[in-house]
Amino acid sequence: MSQGGLLVVRGLSVAFKTQKGTVQAIDGIDLDLNENETLAIVGESGCGKSVLGHAIMRLLDDIAVVRGSVLFRDKEVYEMETTALLNLRGGLISLVPQSPSSSFNPVIKIGKQIEELIEKAGKEKGIGARKRAVEYLSMAGFSQPEQIYESYPHRLSGGMCERALIAMALSVEPELVIADEPTKGLDALSRKNILGMLHKLAKDASMIMITHDLKAAETCGRIAVMYSGEIVEEGPTGIVLNNPRHVYTKGLIDAQPSRGMKPIKGRHNLFSHNALGCRFKERCDAASSECSNHPLLNIVEDCRKVRCCHA
């Protein structure tokens, strides 16, 4: 039976077994993404946002214990055969990975790598694939796309590599783009250009932007704030950032240099999922006895969900 949305994630949990115990990277995530919708996932390092992106594409290592369901166009990703899965990755869903400089194969020219993906996705072949690769490099803002096509990755700066990666991811016209930290470490002008270009090229696709940069998140329609493997607040970006209801969201906003650079007290603990009750309570000034019960992600107003008993 159809559940609507392009992507429906239900109860998705991922655990990694380590020498020091099990790390529950993400825990019971529910997400819905419609066509042409853009969603930002924000949170501190280690909150599980990149694991969530990889889990949606079933890209996690075998040591990851995954539970729950990921439906893409009503098909369960975790029940797909290899052929369907390969068609999904780099065809229907494209990933723009973190660390642009180390994401390309260093011994193959940029253009050849884009061309290979286009051919594998069955979009074009031979000269057609080459033309499409050059066209997308041009759309990604390169004034001399032929030159970039012939370049090896080490000749490009971080910002240029990021643009080439975005061109590659979008050259197959995916239905969903997952962009993992597309603006990390970039200067203001490059960040503005990358975000503008990403939204322009992905105008016919849906997008999940994983970021810790709240300014980048502002360019998305919806936002989900993650802490310790859980979504703690979700809703329309403008409303959430202008009127945050969870103490953690407020903390992230106030930690920005333009908002007084107030650090959130304490530090994120990878094993905080083992604690009873609210996972943020050790760092929360508003914590009370009620916080010893694990809070649910409740709807507090239209399209707005918060996981806090004080919200």
185 binds other proteins (CB under 8 A): yes
Could you tell me which stretch among 118-126, 258-266, 288-296, 300-308 binds other proteins (CB under 8 A)? 258-266
Alpha carbon distance 88, 214 (integer Å) = 29
- Based on the shown chain and the rule CB under 8 A, indicate whether residue 157 belongs to the binding site for other proteins: yes
Query: Which x/- pattern, by CB under 8 A, does the window 81-110 give for other proteins?
Result: ------------------------------
- Verify binding: residue 153, other proteins, rule CB under 8 A: no
Find out whether 12 and 25 touch, Cβ atoms under 8 Å: no
Report the residue number, 63 or 261, with the smaller CB distance to other proteins: 261
Q: Residue with structure tokens 């529910």?
A: 30
Q: Which of 1, 2, 3, 45 binds other proteins (CB under 8 A)?
A: 45
Alpha carbon separation from 309 to 51, 208, 231, 286 (Å, rounded):
27, 28, 14, 10
Of 10, 32, 46, 221, the one binding other proteins (CB under 8 A) is 46
Phi-psi region of 173 (alpha: psi -120 to 50; beta: other; left: phi over 0): left
Residue with Cβ nearer other proteins (136 or 248)? 248
Q: Is 263 in the site for other proteins (CB under 8 A)?
A: yes
With CB under 8 A as the rule, give the number of residues binding other proteins. Answer: 28
Strands 298-301, 64-72: pairing is: unpaired
Does 155 sit near other proteins (CB under 8 A)? no
> CB–CB of 194/140 below 8 Å?
no
Binding test (CB under 8 A) with other proteins, winner from 144, 256, 274, 293 = 256
Stretch that binds other proteins, among 69-77, 134-142, 198-206, 207-215 (CB under 8 A): 207-215
How many Cβ atoms sit within 10 Å of the Cβ of residue 229? 26
Q: Which parts of the chain are beta strand (E)?
A: 7-18, 21-33, 38-42, 64-72, 75-76, 93-96, 176-180, 206-211, 222-227, 230-236, 298-301, 304-306
C-beta separation of 196 from 272 below 8 A: no
Choose between 186 and 306: whose C-beta lies nearer to other proteins.
186
Nearer to other proteins, 192 or 304 (CB): 192
Q: How far is the CB of 68 from other proteins (least distance, A)?
A: 26
> Which C-beta is closer to other proteins: that of 91 or that of 159?
159
Could you tell me if 166 and 197 are in contact, meaning their C-beta atoms sit under 8 angstroms apart? yes
Cα end-to-end span (Å), the chain: 35
Residues that bind other proteins (CB under 8 A): 44-46, 157-159, 184-190, 192, 212-214, 251-252, 255-258, 261-264, 267
